Structure 1
Amino acid sequence: MTFRHLRRTACSLLAALLLAAPALADPGRLIVLVATGTEMPISEFRAGELVGGIHKDLGEALAQQLGRRAQFLAMPRKRIAQTLEVGRADVLCMYMPEWLPGSFYWSSPFFPVTELLVSDRRWPRPLTVADVGGQQIATVLGYHYPELEHALGAEFVRADGPSNEINLRKLGLGRVRHAATLKALLDYRLKLGDRLEIHPPLHVKTYLTRCAVSEKSGVTLADVNAAIAGMHRDGVIHRIVSNYQ
């Protein structure tokens, strides 16, 4: 084995050990895990660091309620479950148990997410989700759309793109007739002045997301649920949502 191979092997082992090592216990901080690949208004990254968006606002508000300071750890979506499970982070928010395999504590449901189906106004308006069966729907690569899959079955025709923002651009350019998106993303793009000639969106589903709490965290589930109750009481969640509408 050459020196180069030995060095490469040593670096790989070090990276694995770092991933497996629990975060250092620090009662003054809350390590908030955030998946990269999300976009505004959910999150904004610069040089791999979270600098804005709902995730940042929510993490800072949660930390404040807990009497801690927020520290954000950005990871690719495929690595977030392992990162949280081994204790490198305390919490991961705006998720659902069915999205995240692994052993975690789950907070009470609290942060609203609404899924929409938007359609180009240059084509006839669909009155129900079933009306778009067999037609291409702009979707994000790697994301699941269980409500659309259930409603349309084999007639759910995906047109995968890298992000919701690009999918809405494709819709505006007439390259697709329909796009699956989140209300928060659509509201934000319209707030920025995007010119979208669309029908009134079809509501697909509204649900309350949760925070996954690492079983190795020094923060207890009871702590997190109490902090969430405090954010509700103080109107923090409503203000965060309203900031991006």
Structure 2
Amino acid sequence: MPKLLPALLLLTLSCASFASERALRFSINDSWAMPMVRIEDGKAVEGILVDLQQRMAAKVGRKAEMLVMPRMRVQHALDSGDIDVRCYVSPNWVDSGHYRYIWSLPFMTQRDVLVGVTPEKFKPEQLLNQRLGTVLGFTYQRLEPLFNSGQIQRENARTQDQVLLKLSARRYRYAISNELSLHWFNRHQAPGQKLHIISEVAAEPVACIVRDAPDVPTMALLRALVQMKQAGEFDEILARYR
């Protein structure tokens, strides 16, 4: 029995250390809609990001704390180091504050599309004197010259889902949506009410950024993301919501 005491003590200390490790803080942008995330009472309860981030945390032996916040507050949290991981982000979407973070490999591509209520095919540059449904605070690089010149006007809604709901209600004729959110929205529409892709506006590889600090298992998280990509776990998560 005395010989077992050191091993038992080590095991006890290891368990105590694991239990005391805080949860990893993941940011959730409250402008996202399903299938990216569903938010109820200020909490992220399901969606691609919830599944992805819970799995990432589990792979490094931590719990995931998902902090739902407005887009501008996400940027402030990056600047101040108040979040450990931000997923589903492109370098083109981050203004500053990412110098403390390390980028993961891209795990998927977000496609932004021009959407309408009737089947048509044309490029967004062909729009003239139209109001275009957009998400408040989102940047659409290809369209910025059109907005700045007054050729088209932004009509902002707080979330991507609200943009599509307003389009479906004919509040305007055209809107911008990411392809995943559009497909999810159309799943719940009658055949004659489905919205239509007119053309692709942009395709952005998206990744995670992980805070590089002693209290974050940065390299372990980045390795876990590589392993998930190689094992097809990203595709498995996406398939649940297609």
Q: 1:81-127: per-residue Cα shift (whole Å, max 9, x none)?
A: 333444433211111234232133222222321101111218xx242
- Partner of residue 149, structure 1: 144
SS of the equivalent of 1:201 reads strand
- Note the C-alpha offset of 1:27: 4.2
- Match of residue 79, structure 1, among 73, 76, 79: 73
SS of the equivalent of 1:232 reads helix
- Note the C-alpha offset of 1:186: 0.5
- Match of residue 135, structure 2, among 140, 145, 159: 140
User: Quick one: which amino acid aligns to residue 212 of structure 1?
Assistant: I
- Match of residue 88, structure 1, among 82, 85, 88: 82
- Partner of residue 236, structure 1: 233
Q: 1:3-24: per-residue Cα shift (whole Å, max 9, x none)?
A: xxxxxxxxxxxxxxxxxxxxxx
- Partner of residue 227, structure 1: 224
User: Quick one: which amino acid aligns to residue 190 of structure 1?
Assistant: N
- Match of residue 50, structure 2, among 56, 61, 66: 56
Query: Aligned in 2, Cα 1:133/1:239: closer, same or farther, shift over 3 Å?
Result: farther
Unaligned runs of at least 5 residues, structure 1: 1-24
- Match of residue 130, structure 1, among 125, 146, 150: 125
- Partner of residue 169, structure 1: 165
Following the alignment from structure 2 to structure 1, what is the Cα–Cα distance between the partners of residues 33 and 194? 22
User: Quick one: which amino acid aligns to residue 74 of structure 1?
Assistant: V
User: Quick one: which amino acid aligns to residue 188 of structure 1?
Assistant: W
Following the alignment from structure 1 to structure 2, what is the Cα–Cα distance between the partners of residues 212 and 26? 24
Match status 1:215 vs 2:209: no
Match status 1:31 vs 2:29: no
- Partner of residue 22, structure 1: none
Following the alignment from structure 1 to structure 2, what is the Cα–Cα distance between the partners of residues 27 and 201? 49
Following the alignment from structure 1 to structure 2, what is the Cα–Cα distance between the partners of residues 216 and 75? 22
Query: Aligned in 2, Cα 1:142/1:89: closer, same or farther, shift over 3 Å?
Result: closer
Are the counterparts in 2 of residues 86 and 216 from structure 1 also a CA contact under 8 Å?
A: no
Are the counterparts in 1 of residues 29 and 71 from structure 2 also a CA contact under 8 Å?
A: yes
- Note the C-alpha offset of 1:44: 1.7
- Note the C-alpha offset of 1:196: 3.1
Greater Rg by CA: 2
Query: Aligned in 2, Cα 1:114/1:223: closer, same or farther, shift over 3 Å?
Result: same
Unaligned runs of at least 5 residues, structure 2: 1-18
Match status 1:120 vs 2:117: yes
User: Quick one: which amino acid aligns to residue 165 of structure 1?
Assistant: D
